[in-house]
């Protein structure tokens, strides 16, 4: 269970990072590119993913 939650947290953090880069215009080719909404939501989603992964890391095996 710990490994599954850790992987989910990492995936959520990676998607949040991707959304942030699209919002900032670093990654193009998407309707999300250069949009302020994703510039704000992306880092929030990434932090939630890091929090989930950190929680899973601290769980006892």
Domain spans of the chain?
Answer: 2-58
**pTM summary value:** 0.89
Q: What is the pLDDT of residues 12-59, one digit of tens each?
A: 999 999 999 999 999 888 888 888 999 999 999 999 999 999 999 998
Identify the burial level of 60 via C-beta atoms within 10 angstroms of its C-beta, where 0-12 means exposed, 13-18 middle and 19 or more buried: exposed
Distance (Å, rounded) from C-alpha 50 to C-alpha 6?
9
Q: Strand, coil or helix: what is 1?
A: coil
Q: Strand, coil or helix: what is 21?
A: helix
Q: Nearest to residue 23, comparing CAs of 50, 43, 52? A: 43
Give the model's pLDDT for residue 12: 98
- Per-residue confidence band for 61, with pLDDT thresholds at 50, 70 and 90: confident
């Amino acid at each position: 269970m710990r490994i599954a939650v850790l992987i989910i947290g990492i995936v959520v953090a990676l998607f949040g990072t991707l959304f942030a880069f699209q919002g900032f215009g670093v990654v193009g080719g998407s309707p999300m590119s250069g949009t302020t909404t994703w510039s704000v939501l992306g880092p929030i989603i990434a932090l939630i993913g890091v929090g989930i992964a950190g929680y899973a890391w601290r769980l006892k095996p």
